[in-house]
C-alpha cells in the first residue's frame, strides 16, 4: 500500500505498513482518502531530525497547528513494533504527546532518530530517489526561532494508491 503526498516542494511517495500497524494505517489512509490532509502545512521543521504535518489546514492560530483528530474522533493507542524503527531518513511516524495520544499529526524523519524508538508509532517509509530529494530540499529550508519553515510548505493533496479500505477488502 502506498500514497503520494503532493507537496509544494514536490511529490513524496510513501509505503504504508498496513499489516504491521493496522489501526494506524487505517487512520492515516482514511484521512488521506477523505482529503483531510489537503492544504495541511508542514508546521515544524527541525533540520537533520524531522518535519511535521498532519493538522487541519485552518488551525487557530494559523500555521501553528496543535490539534488534529483521528477518524474515531479523538486519540488512539500506540502500535509500537520493535522491528519498526526510526533507523533512517524517510521514516513516517505518528506525532504524539505521550502514550495513547495519536491523532492525525505525523512526521517524517530527516535522519536516524533511535531515541524515538518505543515512543512513536512507525507506520511507513518514503520510497524512491525523487521523494528522498524532496526531503533533502525540506531539510535545507530556513526555519524561524520556533522551528517553523520561513517559506511555507504544504501538502497540496494526497493520492492513495490501491486503498484496500475503499475496495471493501475483507
Write out the residue range of the structural domain in which residue 67 sits: 2-161
In a domain, 84, yes or no: yes
pLDDT per residue over 94-126, tens digit each?
999 999 999 999 999 999 999 999 999 999 999
Pairwise pLDDT comparison (134 vs 62), residue with the higher score: 134
Sequence-ordered list of residues with C-beta below 8 angstroms from that of 63, at least 6 positions apart, any chain: 41, 43, 148, 152
Residue 167 domain-assigned? no
Does residue 146 form part of some domain? yes
Q: Is residue 32 in a domain?
A: yes
Global pTM reads: 0.91
Q: Is residue 166 part of a domain?
A: no
Residues 6+ apart with CB under 8 A from 76: 23, 24, 27, 70, 100, 102, 103
- Per-residue pLDDT band for 67 (boundaries 50, 70, 90) equals confident
Give SS3 for 100: coil
Residue 163's pLDDT band (boundaries 50, 70, 90)? low
Task: Name the maximum alpha-carbon separation found in the chain.
Answer: 48
169 in any annotated domain: no
Query: For residue 16, is pLDDT > 80?
Result: yes
CATH no. for residue 56? 2.40.100.10
User: pLDDT band at residue 56, thresholds of 50, 70 and 90?
Assistant: confident
Domains: count for the chain: 1
Beta bridge partners of 10: 7
For residue 84 the three cell numbers come to: 519498526
Three-class secondary structure assignment of 115-136: HHCCCCCEEEEECCHHHHHHHH
Note the pLDDT tens digit of each residue in 134-160. 999 999 999 999 999 999 999 999 999
Amino acid at each position: 500500500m502506498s500514497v503520494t503526498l503532493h507537496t509544494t516542494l514536490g511529490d513524496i511517495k510513501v509505503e504504508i505498513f498496513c499489516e504491521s500497524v493496522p489501526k494506524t494505517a487505517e487512520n492515516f489512509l482514511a484521512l488521506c482518502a477523505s482529503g483531510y490532509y489537503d492544504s495541511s502545512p508542514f508546521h515544524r521543521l527541525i533540520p537533520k531530525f524531522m518535519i511535521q504535518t498532519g493538522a487541519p489546514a485552518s488551525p487557530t492560530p494559523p500555521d501553528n497547528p496543535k490539534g488534529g483528530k483521528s477518524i474515531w474522533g479523538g486519540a488512539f493507542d500506540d502500535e509500537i513494533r520493535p522491528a519498526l524503527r526510526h533507523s533512517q531518513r524517510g521514516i513516517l511516524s505518528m506525532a504524539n504527546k505521550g502514550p495513547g495520544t495519536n491523532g492525525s499529526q505525523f512526521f517524517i524523519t530527516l535522519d536516524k532518530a533511535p531515541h524515538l524508538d518505543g515512543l512513536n508509532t512507525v507506520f511507513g517509509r518514503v520510497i524512491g530517489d525523487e521523494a528522498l530529494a524532496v526531503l533533502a530540499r525540506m531539510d535545507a529550508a530556513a526555519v524561524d526561532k520556533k522551528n517553523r519553515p520561513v517559506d511555507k510548505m504544504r501538502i497540496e493533496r494526497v493520492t492513495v494508491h490501491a486503498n484496500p479500505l475503499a475496495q471493501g477488502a475483507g
